[in-house]
Amino acid sequence: MNKLLAAILLALLLFGCRGQRQEQLLVGIIQPSIDHLPFSLAQEQGALPARAYRTISFTSGWELNEALCAGRVDVAILPFSYVWNAVAAGYPVKTVSFLERETDAVIAIPEIASAQELKGRRVGLLKASTLDLLWRDYAQEQGIEVEPVYFRSPNELIAALQRGDIAAASLYEPLITRLKNEFKVLHWYGERHPGHPCCDVAVNRASLNPAKTILLKELLATLSDISDGNSEPDSAVLDYVSRRYGLDEAGAGEALRRSGFQTGLQEEGIQFERQMMLIALQQGYLKRIPEVSEVFWDMEADQP
């Protein structure tokens, strides 16, 4: 299908007859996270116009996942563990692409010199999140037994860390960079699992009509164009990240160097997620591991 024909079809589906309301794709994001950077940047640059793509912000993965399952958003950029849990619970949720990778680490109070010194200490986790599973994978490999302390949102976790209620926390960018003067990074999870997916693009298939499906495909194509993975960010991107996340230019560069973005549904990413969900099963976070075909929807392969 050439670009002119695609544009005509998109216009017909979105606008219909004169006077009809234009369709919008409702996209949910987690506000403190850098995981939605390609999406937000595309909107900033006008590649995804607000009249067709409306952003709804949430403060935690739990809140966003509940909204996705309920159909209050059509699309969500969120940690993959929530998607697997939603599928296991019977919701019509699917992952259509990986997106954000490697932004996560365990940080600790300054007097902790190594992860081994966390033995017997209190470590803050966002329960059943990818940060929880990545910590457990790392702690098991290192033979570290800690007292887990669970939180529902990153803001609550950070407040507990700053009060001294916990000695360490599993967290992500840009929050890690914001806290670099108060706490130290003990381990980047990307060192153990290079290029691992963390936050994916997921959809509620029940909320997708033909017009929204076209918008979704346009969204994925735009994210693919922006998320080239390894290129050095230019000054415009650094400026945007500084403004969006409240960082100076040096901090923006540091956060971006620890953040990867790559779309697609690569087999190694699928198997990594399944490996992490086996940990979730052991922890009792879900009752079964869904089949891969239940979790992922390859839209490119599913063409008529």
Q: What is the pLDDT of residue 21?
A: 58
**Partners of 75 in beta bridges:** 27, 203
Alpha-carbon dihedral sign for residues 26, 27, 28, 31: negative
Provide the mean pLDDT of the chain.
91
In tens, the pLDDT along 137-189 reads 999 999 999 999 999 899 999 999 999 999 999 999 999 999 999 999 999 99
Confidence (pTM)? 0.89
Average pLDDT of 277-288? 95
In tens, the pLDDT along 192-220 reads 999 999 999 999 999 999 999 999 999 99
- Tell which residue, 212, 177, 202, 222, has the closest CA to residue 41: 222
260 pLDDT exceeds 50?
Answer: yes
Banded model confidence at residue 231, pLDDT cuts 50, 70, 90: low
Lowest average pLDDT, out of 65-69, 209-213, 242-246, goes to 242-246
Distances (CA, A) of 256 to 67, 102, 233: 28, 10, 8
Banded model confidence at residue 69, pLDDT cuts 50, 70, 90: very high
Is residue 260 within 8 Å of 266, Cβ to Cβ? no
Question: What percent of the chain clears pLDDT 90, i.e. is strictly above it?
Answer: 83
243 pLDDT exceeds 80?
Answer: yes
| Structural domains in the chain plus CATH codes | 3-101+196-227+262-295 (3.40.190.10), 104-192 (3.40.190.10)
In tens, the pLDDT along 70-79 reads 999 999 999 9
Neighbours of 240 (CB within 10 A): 17
